[in-house]
Structure 1
Amino acid sequence: MTRFTISGAIDTYAKWFAQRFSWTGQYLPLFHLLLAGLVVLSASRLGLVIWQWDRVSAAAIVVSTFVQGIRADLILLGYLLVIPLAFAPLSAVRRLEKWWHLGVAWWASFALIFIVFMELATPQFIMQFDVRPNRLFIEYLSYPAEVFATLWNGFRLATLLSLFGTVVLGLTFHRVFVVSSAYATRWPAKRLLLSWPLVVLLVAFQIRSTMAHRPANPAMFALSGDALVNSLIINSPWSVLDAVYSLRKEANSSEIYGKFPHDQVFAQVKAAPWLKSYQFLSSELPTLHRQTPARQRTRPLNLVIVLEESMGATFVESLGGVPVTPELEKLKQDGWWFENLYATGTRSVRGIEAVIAGYPPTPARSVVKLSLAQQNFYTLALGLGKQGYHTEFVYGGEAHFDNMRSFFTGNGFQKVVDRRDMRPRFEGSWGASDEDLFDKSLERLQHLHTEGKPFFSVIFTSSNHEPFEFPDGKITLHEPNKQTVNNAVKYADYALGKFIQAAKKQAYWNDTLFLIVADHDNRVYGDSLVPIKKFHIPGLILGADMKQQRITTIASQIDLGPTLLSLMGVTSEHPMIGRDLASDSSSPGRALLQFDNYFAWVDDGGAVILRPGQPALLGEYDAGNGNLRFGAAAPTSTQVDRAMAHVILPSLLYREQRYRLPP
């Protein structure tokens, strides 16, 4: 009778696996890592879903949780396969084959140990933070004593079991990989070298996980409005690795402009003329204040924001641009037209944070992509949602691009509609055409109106984006070559005009405010230190009872949120520092611009430019020709302090998580 031992069972399994999958040749340990990883991650996800069944079932994406979960697992495992696969040709050399197998055995063992450890740590982290391990998991590693004390005192048994399980499984995995590799079938060198490029290509596609314009990222898997459920779809190792990557990019903060006393930041910002009269409600949330609307209404209006991709002043004739937006020129007769409105940056996510969240720019990446802003970060949707509004985001492309889906679903948007929810008649590289986008938007707005609840919808266009693809026969081309930026803008303007004309015929028109605004201009260029002219964008508020009015003062995208709430008749508490132009649209204003590592404060007195490691500059800006000239005069300390306070403020609010509403 054969004596049973654990090591014997492991060896028997390893031999069986090597024989069963002998067709994989020298790739056997890599294939073994792939299968073992899928089993561990899927089992963990199943256990977490059962544990959190009430929330998963309420999100109505049970099947997607597992199907998309496997997809996310394959992406992670693809990354773990890259390094050993890169050295696979070494196994074609008999003298090196043994060392390659040994190296892969160790690599695969450590990879699975990492996976097991992260998945075993997940339940405790969820109980603390209601989401899988993320950036906070990494940050807490900086405080080992406090973390260990917390785990030992609060989760002693779970911690011991997790550590024990990780060690035991790690040793088991290593034994399995070593034995199975010893029994792997050896391919001839020619066969291995010919197959290697194909395997590399296959793993590359496994990592990309899509034939779409952009590769998959964690935001793609944000399928519900519940952050926990979204986190269950992906896996903890990928979540943490993505957080590490994000942390590396967050190092470029506002402190690059020099030191500025933090206790002066809030005082400087609150000294703005449009904020002086407000009562600030919380020392913990320093910019939180109560805003009373300039227009009192029996029932506050609905709100629709149309964020136009790259439709800057460059393309608006009345703003000194090319005459390719005739529909917008007509529409400006129906509402408030901003003649001196400026974007805060040069990327869509920068425009999103400014328009949707009223958040000023920083030298770091937009908060749309930063980890600490993925939940409970103030947006108009979060504020209006607390007042009974239905909130949603409609986009013709892939909503996970630039992390938009994750940011929106975590911060108040109850529904995200994107390319997958449309049946476009024309589809370009960036998704459905603007006409298809607006058709879907009209359908959604009618549905929301029928439900009888107030609504807030953000519609983000994409046709005006390289390679400038749009349907034939819709417009008279501005230039003979169809796929140019001017033609694409003209098509986007055409689609916008159709949308507004159709919306005007609907019952909700008289109860709804529409904002049409660009996220930024198109490609920013120029020999100026800060090309201020390329930040100039059109803005138009129309609908409901809006009458024609020209807003001539300098304004920023961050002013739009407070102005819209005031015009809608919404009394609210929010942390936005922008100006309510409905209360005062004629006093001098300012714009805040972030261009690469330069920050500019622009007002009627000129432009103060903050530079990393160098003194600030004072320039004279000519809006007519776009020239920014610097003389011998330096900015005053008051001008520099004001600019410094406004660029440091958002960094402080983000890092300390103080740009939010009270519980």
Structure 2
Amino acid sequence: MTKLFKGRFAILFAFLTYFLSFSFLIRTILLIESLSKHIDFKVLEIVRIYITGLFFDIGSGLLITIFYALYLLIIPNKFYTKKWNIIFNWVTLFLFVLITLFSFFAELTFWQEFESRFNFIAVDYLIYTYEVVQNINESYPLPLLITGMLLLAVVIMYLFYKLNIFKNSLNANTPFNKRIIISSTLIISTIIFSLFVKNSWAENGNNRYANELSKAGTYSFFAAFKNNELNYTDFYKLISSKEAFTLVRNELKETGVAFSKDELSIKREITNDSSQAYKPNLIMITVESLSADFMQKYGNKEHITPELDSLANHSVFFSDMYATGTRTVRGMEALTLCIPPTPGSSIVRRMDNEHLFTVGHVFKEKGYTNTFFYGGDGYFDNMNHFFGNNGYNIVDRGRKLLDETYDGSRTIIKDNEVTFENAWGICDEDIFNVVLKDADEKFKANKLFNNFIMTTSNHRPYTFPDHKINLPSGTRAAAVRYTDYAIGNFIKKIKAKPWFKNTVIIIVADHCASSAGKNEIDVSKYQIPCMILNLKNTVDMNIDKMTSQIDLYPTLWSLLGWKYTSSFYGKNVLDKDYKPRVVLGTYQKLVYMSGDSLVILSPHRKVDTYIYNKAKNEQTKASFPKALTDQAIANYQTAFDIFKDGKLRY
């Protein structure tokens, strides 16, 4: 064993020893804190905590040092004793120690607040860095904390020095064959651990505290980042599963609906008035960051959406629709799965999100070809994986990866199809031209098509082709105006196509341009425009009822007179029994609004209730009947359950 601390790898193994020792100490402190709160642990649970915990700690330590292990392998002996390498090793170890000390401190403070190892809330904190740093500064004497951590790191480094760790490592003449054995063992073990070991392996008991203590904070953070979710059951207010599903099923009742016999399911058969049913092609333009208040119809005075304002007057217009979230992938989730936003990131970015019951599945059952069009690289945000494994073909401007496999096909947009491109992708006119070409081909082949288009021009850096509009590129207002121009130009072109008379066009935003406001959840920052164009047998109308993104397709299908199987939370807002409600949220906050009654669910099983004054955009604290808060809980609890239990699969 002592030989490990006398060769080139002495610094690495010394760090692992320090890391495992401090991890043991942190785990013990958290266990004692749990015991002080009268949490009962059986002897075998405590044994499991330390054995399982050691396993995860070793894996975490290996993950931290994997690149250092590679460095120790490849650097030749003749360079290893150079001054620059000596400095590099000292600095590397110091940074390893300092960063992990801050991580250990963060674990203690995180446990005090959430009684949990790192989860998606910790990942979420990275997104709101300014707020978190301010909170730490207000909660702790930050200068003293940083000074203390630096001093402790120096003490540990001095201890390594006194134990001759640096001398043993930097003076070693370790042959390459020995280095490759050690480095390969460490690197291969790390890869196996990261690919095959799941954080859920620690959750094999009924004692939640024992499960959490069995984990390692560092690996839990990586796992949360990878899985992009937060366990609703552990952190949010709950009611019984049977009661939750009963409440949701009652809310989803409408004319011509028959639910399945499984009481813990929302699966049902929808029977609309099919006397004038028909199957048109569908093109949905999902516009990047199109807030409602960009349009003149909502009071904007800049006149940057003349095309959209004109189109809205000749459509089925949803004038009071709300996005479910603040990111593109959350909008995609709402528009494909028609589901409330569960805590963490969108299902689009999560693991095990293949073969789900999507909007595309309904279209496929009707004989349609589904295609996802994106002017950027669909590898970003896991979009290609989600759409490609949920019944859609893909057309994007990405790169071909060898390990990409999809149930659908993938076509990469060629250079000769691009006139303008920035960091986010090709301009909106170019992606619309690609769609036109594809639609022409499908029409010639006598194929019905359902197209999901995601635009990119209304995204920073807000650049677009010159000489298209009377505003220079580089600002949000100009980007909105250009996107509006591109959509208007696209509509003019398709009106001349032979397939236009049997094609419905949807224009909807993915989310608003900004979600920050004077309230923690600013409802006004979720309001988006949505319109359906070119519907047969339907007069133009303004639907001024409060609606959600998840209601769009159920409403469309009712207008088309379709019969279909549904596992969606969306409703036909034209049904006589429809009661306005919306679901929206952030990574942590989950919001349910019925009428002007606002319920916000948060970690710590916290429930806040407000009256929302839309005219003043104000929220006033209020008390609501338990029935309303239970309805809010039921929507999110069941949505989380059906995804985790695989009931979203078809």
TM-score (norm 1): 0.65
Assess if the C-alpha contact under 8 Å between 1:254 and 1:647 holds in 2. no
**Alignment correspondent of 2:581:** 590
Please state whether the residue corresponding to 1:251 is helix, strand or coil.
coil
Q: Distance in 2 between matches of 1:657 and 1:264?
A: 20
CA contact (8 A) 1:280 1:289 kept: yes
**Residues 95 and 366 (structure 1), Cα distance of their counterparts in 2 relative to 1, 3 Å cut:** closer
- 1:548 Cα deviation after fit: 1.3
| 1:425 aligned to which of 397, 419, 426 | 419
| Contact 2:572 2:578 survives alignment (8 Å) | no
AA in 2 matched with 1:443 = K
Residue 339 of structure 1: CA displacement?
0.8
Describe the SS at the equivalent of 2:570: coil
Task: Indicate which of 429, 440, 446 corresponds to 1:435.
Answer: 429
Supply the AA of the counterpart residue of 1:514: I
* Equivalence for 2:572: 580
2:287 equivalent among 297, 308, 314: 308
1:658 to 2:641 alignment: no
Identify the residue that residue 398 of structure 1 maps to in structure 2. Answer: 377
Match of 1:465 among 459, 464, 467: 459
Equivalent residue letter for 2:518: D
User: Structure 2: how far apart are the matches of 1:99 and 1:365?
Assistant: 46
**Does 1:490 find its partner at 2:490?**
no
Aligned with 1:334: secondary structure?
Answer: coil
- Superposed CA deviations along residues 258-311 of structure 1, whole A, max 9, x for unmatched, are 232112111111111644752112528711111123454464222211100001
Select the residue among 634, 641, 649 that pairs with 1:645.
634
**Match status 1:339 vs 2:339:** no
Shift of 1:544: 3.6
Specify the SS of the correspondent of 1:355. Answer: helix
Match of 1:602 in 2: 593
Paired residue type of 2:347:
V
Question: In structure 1, what residue type is equivalent to 2:182?
Answer: W
Q: Is the 8 A contact 1:243 1:371 kept in 2?
A: no
Counterpart among 47, 50, 67 of residue 82 in structure 1? 67
Native 8 Å contact 2:245 2:264 kept in 1: no
Where does residue 560 of structure 1 map in the other structure?
552
Task: Tell me how far apart the structure 1 counterparts of residues 370 and 221 of structure 2 sit (CA, whole Å).
Answer: 28
Q: Which one of 529, 540, 544 corresponds to residue 520 of structure 2? A: 529
- 8 Å Cα contact 1:257/1:610 also seen in 2: yes
**Do 2:590 and 2:600's aligned partners in 1 also have CA atoms closer than 8 Å?**
yes
Partner AA of 2:642 in structure 1: L
Task: Indicate the SS of the match to 2:173.
Answer: helix
Question: 1:139 Cα deviation (Å)?
Answer: 7.6
Match of 2:95 in 1: none
Where 1:371 maps in the other structure, the secondary structure is coil
Equivalent residue for 1:251, pick from 230, 233, 241: 230
- Tell me the residue number matched to 1:106: 182
Distance 1:643 1:140, change over 3 A: closer
Residue 630 of structure 1 aligns with which residue? 620
Task: Give the Cα–Cα distance (whole angstroms) in 2 for the partners of residues 242 and 378 of structure 1.
Answer: 30
CA distance in 2, matches of 1:499, 1:242: 45
1:245 is displaced (CA, Å) by 5.8
Structure 2 residue 583 is matched with structure 1 residue 611: no
Can you give the 5+ residue segments of structure 1 that lack an aligned partner in the other structure?
Answer: 1-25, 27-77, 119-132, 145-239
2:351 corresponds to 1:371:
yes
Residue 372 of structure 1 aligns to a residue in which SS? coil
User: Of 318, 324, 328, which aligns to 2:304?
Assistant: 324
Q: How far off its partner does 1:338 sit? A: 0.8
Deviations 1:206-265 (A, max 9, x none): xxxxxxxxxxxxxxxxxxxxxxxxxxxxxxxxxx99994655542343652223211211
| CA apart distance, 1:525 | 1.2
Per-residue CA deviation, residues 150-191 of structure 1 (Å, 9 max, x unaligned), is xxxxxxxxxxxxxxxxxxxxxxxxxxxxxxxxxxxxxxxxxx
Which has the higher mean CA deviation after the structures are superposed, 572-581 or 274-283?
A: 274-283
| CA-CA distance at 1:398 after TM superposition | 0.5
Looking at structure 2, the residues matched to 518 and 491 of structure 1 have their Cα atoms a distance apart, in angstroms, of 15
Distance 1:81 1:138, change over 3 A: closer
| Change in 2 beyond 3 A, CA 1:296/1:396 | farther
Q: What is the CA distance between 1:384 and its match in structure 2?
A: 1.6
Deviation (angstroms), 1:114: 6.8
Number of residues paired by the alignment? 470
Aligned amino acid, residue 594 of structure 2: D
How does 1:497-516 map onto structure 2 within 5 Å? 497-516=488-507
Residues 331-377 of structure 1: per-residue CA shift (max 9 Å, x gap) = 0122101110000000101000101221211122110011121x111
Measured on the aligned residues, the alpha-carbon RMSD in Å equals 3.3
Q: Using the alignment, how far apart are the partners of 1:468 and 1:143 within structure 2?
A: 46
The one-character-per-residue Cα deviations of 1:452-506 (angstroms, maximum 9, x if unpaired) are 12211101100000111111111122xxx63111110110111011111211221
Taking structure 1 as reference, are residues 263 and 98 closer, same or farther at Cα in structure 2, changes over 3 Å only?
A: farther
- The structure 2 residue matched to 1:449, chosen from 443, 455, 471, is 443
Q: Which segments of 5 or more consecutive residues in structure 2 lack a partner in the other structure?
A: 1-7, 9-62, 87-168, 205-218, 399-411
1:312 deviates by 1.2
Contact in 1 for aligned 2:246/2:263 (Cα 8 Å): no
> For 2:233 and 2:373, how far apart are their aligned partners in 1?
32
Q: Secondary structure at the match of 2:313?
A: helix
Pairing of 1:3-82 with structure 2 (within 5 A): 82=67
Does the C-alpha gap of structure 1 residues 90 and 279 become closer, same or farther in structure 2, counting only changes over 3 Å? farther
Map 1:46-195 → 2, pairs under 5 A: 82-85=67-70, 92=82, 95-98=170-173, 105-112=181-188, 138=198
Q: Per the alignment, do residues 542 and 658 of structure 1 end up closer, same or farther by CA in structure 2, a change over 3 Å counting?
A: same
Q: Over residues 6-33 of structure 1, what are the superposed CA-to-partner deviations in whole Å (9 max), with x where a residue is unaligned?
A: xxxxxxxxxxxxxxxxxxxx9xxxxxxx
**1:359 corresponds to:** 339
CA contact (8 A) 2:273 2:562 kept: no
1:192 is matched with none
Give how far 1:643 is off: 0.5
Identity of aligned residues (%): 28
Q: Note the C-alpha offset of 1:613.
A: 2.3
> In the superposition, relative to structure 1, how do residues 635 and 140 fare at CA in structure 2: closer, same or farther (>3 Å)?
closer
Aligned to 1:18: none
